[in-house]
Structure 1
Amino acid sequence: MCRWAAWQGAPLFLSQMISAPEHSLIQQSREANKCKTAINADGFGLAWYDKRPTPGLYRDVYPAWSDPNLLALADQVQARLFMAHVRASTGSATSRNNCHPFVQGRWSFMHNGQVGGFSRFRKAADMLIPDSLYADRKGASDSEALFLVACGLGLDTDPKGALAAAIARFEHLSREAGEEPHMRCTAALSDGEVLYAVRYASDTLAPSLFYRWYPDWQGWAVVSEPYDTSSGDWIEVPKGSFCTFTATNCEITPFAPAASLCAA
């Protein structure tokens, strides 16, 4: 499993979430509290939006706590929307191409969770990626494949519906492969304007997801686990939810991928 954090709002230095807090994302890379694996050392990544429509991207295979370039970048880069991820692999190799976030055009995506039996149906999953997007399939992870399938199912026009349909198809393939858990997922994605997040599982063990509004910073923090452990202002996202964060508003609606598969 992995840990991640995202920001949507007024421009914020990345370090204010990634490195400065007591239980920052970098600290969570070696001592997470709310996941099966306390160590998340199989790489890290950042995607951020500022003046350009497509995101900046920085990823590497080192543990987040051991890369001084990450600290320097986070201390200097200020962005109105950004996503950061520390990885604990559930099967695919430790390589830069398997590190989150993933980017396709103006979209960025990061994921925490697992898809049971993915190695058995990886070819079938890859075949769901449209030919026009397959050149963007750089790595071997289930997360990247899920993202590109969602892109092909209409992420530009219906982010919630496209992601639900992609998750439903992967869950169906996992059930056919017969390996549990079929789907556990918290994910964040953005087109550079709106930040979306989802919390879902095919069983009762959905990975953790929290959010809060910072009036002083004028923005939303969305995280796998709180980095400010002294604050009681964090709100847990209900299981089976899709979240939409604009610069000032938050909307949470039910998320039911199985219904999307039935409707397809």
Structure 2
Amino acid sequence: MCRWLAYSGSPVRLDDLLYKPANSLVMQSKHSRLGVETTNGDGFGVGWYGTEPTPGVFHSTEPAWHDRNLRELAAQASSRRVFAHIRATTGTAIQQTNCHPFRHGKWLWMHNGVLGGFPQVKRDLAMAVDPGLYPEIEGSTDSEMFFYLALTFGLEQDPRAAVAEAVGFIEDAGQRRGVEHPVQMTVAATDGETTWAFRYSSERNSRSLFVSSDVAALQAQYPEHELLGKLSDDSRLVVSEPLGDLYGAWQEVPEATCVVVRGGEQEQYPFEPAAPAVAAV
């Protein structure tokens, strides 16, 4: 399927996240350890926040390991908050508009997983998207449709509740169409200040998700580590799979959980779908 990372904290260059770690995201694009597919070469994307209220995004259909423009960008650009995603398509076209992260205003969104039976439920889901938002959908993926459903259900006001209602709606639509397991997901969303990450699947066997441990403790444990030495105490990473093998650096996110990262604070909450206010037809 896909691999992704969500970083927040002190400003870091993109290559510190994408290239330098032993199991960097670019390395995972060729040799994923925990993904469904070993290779995630169907495009990539990076989103980051700079001086403007709207985040920048860079998408490419090239494999991440092969794109010279990504290496040039990563060597120069730095940010306090970065979303990065490498794609393994589940059937939709390899094109820039299908690359994550997706953007709406100040929001970024990315997804690893699949909406089961998407061709069968696509019309039901599309008809539920707010008519004012629907024209913004540019690609053909289930992930982007999921994003716009979450926006429709109030992502900008209450992300946890909105994603719970979107998942509930998708499950209801899938079950009505005979789909056994409608949702498989790890999802990340941010408004530039807070990151919300979700691990959930209808079959209760979700794709992997990890959060980084306390940076100050890791710096004390590994005083010579180059990247750790650059990070402030409030720096946090949420990742599909660990970027390295440092003992104690990563904690697996439990099944059916929402992680909220705000500054140096990191909280976890149980996650369950909410019954949709309006059932899929």
- Shorter-chain TM-score: what band? over 0.9
- Counterpart-to-counterpart distance in 1, 2:92 and 2:248: 36
Shift of 1:137: 0.4
Shift in Å, 1:229: 2.0
Match of residue 120 from structure 1: 120
Match for residue 239 of structure 2? Answer: 223
In the alignment, structure 1 residue 261 sits paired with structure 2 residue 275: yes
Q: Does the aligned pair in 2 maintain the 1:153–1:166 contact within 8 Å? A: yes
**Partners in 2 of 1:183 and 1:220 — Cα distance?**
27
| Cα 1:103/1:240, change in 2 over 3 Å | same
- In structure 2, runs of 5+ residues without a counterpart are 217-228
Aligned partners of 2:43 and 2:64 also within 8 Å: yes
State the partner residue of 2:136: 136
Question: Using the alignment, how far apart are the partners of 1:162 and 1:59 within structure 2?
Answer: 26
Q: 1:232 maps to which residue?
A: 248
CA contact (8 A) 1:9 1:246 kept: no
Map 1:22-41; keep pairs closer than 5 Å.
22-41=22-41
1:155 and 1:182 map into 2 onto residues whose CA distance is: 21
For 2:221, the equivalent position in structure 1 comes to none
Shift of 1:261: 1.1
Pair 1:245-2:261 in alignment: yes
Q: Once superposed, what is the RMSD of the aligned Cα atoms?
A: 1.3
Match of 2:179 in 1: 179
**Which amino acid is 2:200 matched to?**
Y
For the Cα contact (< 8 Å) 1:10–1:247, is it kept in 2? no
Return the alpha-carbon distance in structure 2 between the equivalents of residues 230 and 249 of structure 1: 22
Inter-partner Cα distance in structure 2 for 1:80 and 1:143: 25
Instruction: Report the alpha carbon displacement of residue 230 of structure 1 after superposing the two structures with TM.
Output: 3.3
- Alpha-carbon distance in structure 1 between the residues aligned to 2:27 and 2:46: 16
Aligned to 1:154: 154
Between the aligned partners of 1:90 and 1:262, the Cα distance in structure 2 is 26
Q: Which amino acid letter does the alignment assign opposite residue 42 of structure 2?
A: D
Percent identical pairs in the alignment equals 39
Q: Which residue of 2 aligns with 1:76?
A: 76
- Report deviation, 1:262: 5.8
- Looking at structure 2, the residues matched to 89 and 175 of structure 1 have their Cα atoms a distance apart, in angstroms, of 23
Quickly say closer, same or farther: Cα 1:129–1:203, change in 2 above 3 A.
same
Structure 1 residues without counterparts, runs of 5 or longer = none
How many residue pairs match? The answer is 262
With structure 2 as the length reference, what TM-score do the two structures score? 0.90
CA drift of 1:133 comes to 0.6
Letter in 2 for 1:55: P
Shift of 1:263: 6.5
Q: What's the TM-score, normalizing by structure 1?
A: 0.96
Report the AA paired with residue 241 of structure 1: T
